[in-house]
Amino acid sequence: MNQDENVIELDGLSKSYSRFKLEPITMSIKQGYITGLVGPNGAGKSTLIKLLLGMAVPDRGEVRIFGRRMPEREQEIKERIGYVSDESHYYEHLSIGAMKNVLAPFYSCWDEQQYRQLLDRFELHPKARIRSLSKGMKMKLSLVFALSHHADLLIMDEPTAGLDPVFRRELLDMLADFIQEDTRSIVFSTHVTTDLDRIADYIAFVDKGRLVFCDSKEEIFERYALIKADRSLLDRDTRGTLIGIRETSVGFEGLSANREEAERLFGGFARIEIPTLEDIMFYTAKGRSGARV
Amino acid sequence: MFNLIRKDMLVVRFYYLFIVLYAIFFGFIMNNEASTILVGALSAIMLVMFSVSLETKSKSILFIGSLPVKRKQIVQAKYAVVIVFLIIGLFMSLLVHLVSLYVLDNPVEWTWMQASLTTGIVLLFASLFFPVYYWLGDRAAQVVSLLAIFLAVSVIVGMSGVMSEMTFGLPLDTGSPAAVLSVIVGGTLLLFVISYGLSQSLFRKKDMAG
Amino acid sequence: MNIIISNASGEPIYLQIVTQLRSAILNGTLSPGQGLPSIRQLAKDLQISVITTKRAYEELEKEGLVDSVIGKGSFVSGASSAQIREQRIRLMEEKMREIVKEAKGLDMGLDQLLSRFGQLYSDEGSEWL
């Protein structure tokens, strides 16, 4: 496998709505890996996914999937994509089986046997009306459809919403199964950092319509540092090196995007820890301005 | 493309019962000059409306947007489905006529003029409905569709008056039915084609949302 | 072979894998030529990312403990026993360094440390005899 092959390439992709703007984004998503699109609610994750799939039309910029341009070749591209949306958009009045009959003929690689197995595994009955399913069950159904046509790319928008922890763990296994073939890739978005980021290889962090970074988790955790120390260590210079600060009466906690610098400045006087993704999300969104004075 | 048409035909599944009810009510029970047109046009229009309202209710455009189809085909299919539903409507009106020959003393009449008026009304409706649907979204389309239905019904009622005049007031040889027929069908068909172009250009830049 | 990942330890996950696989290879739990689980399989089993597992395997390759053959997977390298011995000595030295640090912290002189080592060494030896 070519390690540098990209499954998705975005080039200066931007979009503005009346109340929200997605700044030009240039990034690539690696083939063969799992990429987590994380960021707070309203950061632009869903917009980005809709732009990827050609559901929203970008103001500017280009999307390439499997090396092919969207939307010119959207038909052949989408044939190879399994999409799990944040909410069910299937026809509510249909039964699971009837919905399958609507959906299956669109895909030349529809795998009826796989579909049946997955339904069984998720304890979904083909006669059940979609309207009667719980949010979690609808998410499972969405997964069944996404995984039944031999897709090479799985795109999931907030897939863990509405799923109980037991199934979330099972989902991890299924995604890992999917990715056993190194030509396949997964992109998922989430606003809560959950068990899902355990298996993510790359994290793309989006905040306020801006891509903050898109790196491998290994690099991120080596770069960022969480500093916990006495407030007396905070002066103008040291503050300037921190992305976000949370001060309390018993000390401060701050995030640095430069571990070496942090160790040089605070080493010996502070606890320097590996932050969690949640820490990174929290401090980046919060910033240092709000904490000053 | 074929699969998109198939989708809309499958989605309205239970709603086919409604057109049977229309046939019974407007055809056999009402049984007047407007019956054939009402059965035909109403069946087609309601099927189009059901398929669209079911789609907006589930925000299914967001599911359709993920399917391996071209954006263009989504609009193409919608207009093609109108033709399919129109054929179903015409077939229903013909069926009402044929059945009534055996069960009613005063059978429901079926003429080519009525069929072309049905066609004209359905094409007119679709020509208005879809551009508004793609331009202003589901809410506006619902309002417009209600207005369009009202308009269509009053047109039918008006036309039925005109028709009785044509039958009684005008001698058949002065107005050629074939000419009137082709003007109605041709005119609305032209409108339908223009409407299709308009919908395509509206949908090309449209963000699919709920 | 067992690999146990702790999220609470603060030690990078790839290092935890390296440490555990290395000791399994050095102490003979894994023998030369034996196949290791594929990178993707191990990632699945441990519920961690592929890149993390990959990094661990690359680290072990660098140390000469693991060979990777494209298309076939990763194997415990057939390194000569001398090489492995060398590796083990290096590992032992690491532990010794820690002991020396500890001894210095306790203000213990080299003589004292050596005599204690001598004591322990002969105790261990007698068990084997």
Question: What's domain A224-291's architecture?
Answer: 2-Layer Sandwich (3.30)
Whether pTM > 0.90 for this model: the answer is no
Q: What's residue B166's pLDDT?
A: 54
Report chain A's mean pLDDT, rounded to a whole number: 89
Task: Choose among B60, B68, B204: nearest Cβ to A106.
Answer: B68
pLDDT band of residue B3 (cuts 50, 70, 90) is very high
Is the per-residue pLDDT at A285 higher than 90? no
**Domains of chain A, residue spans:** 6-220, 224-291
Q: Quick check: C26 and C84 in contact, CB under 8 A?
A: yes
Q: Quick check: A267 and A227 in contact, CB under 8 A?
A: no
Angle among Cα A97, A103, A108 to the nearest 5 degrees reads 120
Is the per-residue pLDDT at A187 higher than 50? yes
Cβ distance of B66 and A85 shorter than 8 Å: yes
Please indicate if any CB of chain B lies within 8 Å of the CB of A283. Answer: no
- What residues in A contact B69, CB-CB < 8 Å? 74-75, 78, 106
* Residue of A194, A216, A224, A279 best to disrupt the C interface, most CBs of C under 10 A: A216
Q: What's residue B169's pLDDT?
A: 43
Mean pLDDT score, B171-190:
72
Q: What's residue B174's pLDDT?
A: 41
Please indicate if any CB of chain A lies within 8 Å of the CB of B206. Answer: yes
pLDDT, one tens digit per residue, over A208-261 is 899 999 999 889 988 999 999 888 888 888 888 888 888 888 888 999 998 888
Is the per-residue pLDDT at A1 higher than 60? no
Residue type, C11: E
pLDDT, one tens digit per residue, over B45-103 is 889 988 988 888 888 889 999 999 999 999 999 999 999 999 999 999 999 999 988 88
Selection from A19, A89, A20 nearest residue A53 by Cα: A89
**Domains of chain B, residue spans:** 2-204
pLDDT, one tens digit per residue, over A44-69 is 898 999 999 999 999 999 999 999 99
Please indicate if any CB of chain A lies within 8 Å of the CB of B10. Answer: yes
Cβ distance of C47 and A173 shorter than 8 Å: yes
- What residues in C contact A173, CB-CB < 8 Å? 44, 47
Cβ distance of A198 and C44 shorter than 8 Å: no
Domains A6-220 and A224-291 share a fold: no
Q: What's residue B176's pLDDT?
A: 61
Please indicate if any CB of chain B lies within 8 Å of the CB of A104. Answer: no
pLDDT, one tens digit per residue, over B140-178 is 876 876 687 677 667 766 765 665 555 544 444 444 677
B37, B41, B85, B162, C93 from B22: Cα distances, Å: 11, 10, 14, 23, 92
Q: What's residue A11's pLDDT?
A: 94
Closest-CA residue of chain B to A82: B66
| Residue, of C9 and A284, whose pLDDT is higher | A284
Mean pLDDT score, B102-106:
84
* Residue of B11, B51, B67 best to disrupt the A interface, most CBs of A under 10 A: B67
CATH number of C13-76, picked from 1.25.40.850, 1.10.10.10, 1.10.3720.10, 3.30.420.270 = 1.10.10.10
**Domains of chain C, residue spans:** 13-76, 81-128
- What residues in B contact A55, CB-CB < 8 Å? 62, 65-66, 207-208
Q: What's residue A282's pLDDT?
A: 87
Which stretch of DSSP H or E encloses residue A27?
Answer: strand A21-30
Q: What's residue A293's pLDDT?
A: 34
Selection from B82, B88, B94 nearest residue B27 by Cα: B94
Tell me how far apart the alpha carbons of residues A204 and A226 are, in angstroms, rounded to a whole number: 19
Is the per-residue pLDDT at B184 higher than 90? no
pLDDT band of residue A107 (cuts 50, 70, 90) is very high
Which of A103-112, B101-110, B117-126, C89-98 has the highest mean predicted lDDT (pLDDT)?
A103-112
The whole-angstrom distance between A147's CA and the closest CA on chain B is: 14
Q: What's residue B171's pLDDT?
A: 41
Mean pLDDT score, A2-31:
88
CATH number of this structure's domain A6-220: 3.40.50.300
Is the per-residue pLDDT at A118 higher than 70? yes
Q: What's residue A270's pLDDT?
A: 85
Tell me how far apart the alpha carbons of residues C46 and C4 are, in angstroms, rounded to a whole number: 8
Q: How many beta-carbon pairs below 8 A join chains A and B?
A: 78
Q: What's residue A290's pLDDT?
A: 47
Q: What is the 3-state secondary structure (H, E, C) of chain C?
A: CCCCCCCCCCCCHHHHHHHHHHHHHHCCCCCCCCECCCHHHHHHHHCCCHHHHHHHHHHHHHCCCEEEECCCEEEECCCCHHHHHHHHHHHHHHHHHHHHHHHHHCCCCHHHHHHHHHHHHHHHHHHHC
Q: In what order do the strands lie in the sheet with A21-30?
A: A21-30, A6-16, A60-65, A68-70
Cβ distance of A50 and B208 shorter than 8 Å: yes
Is the per-residue pLDDT at A291 higher than 50? no
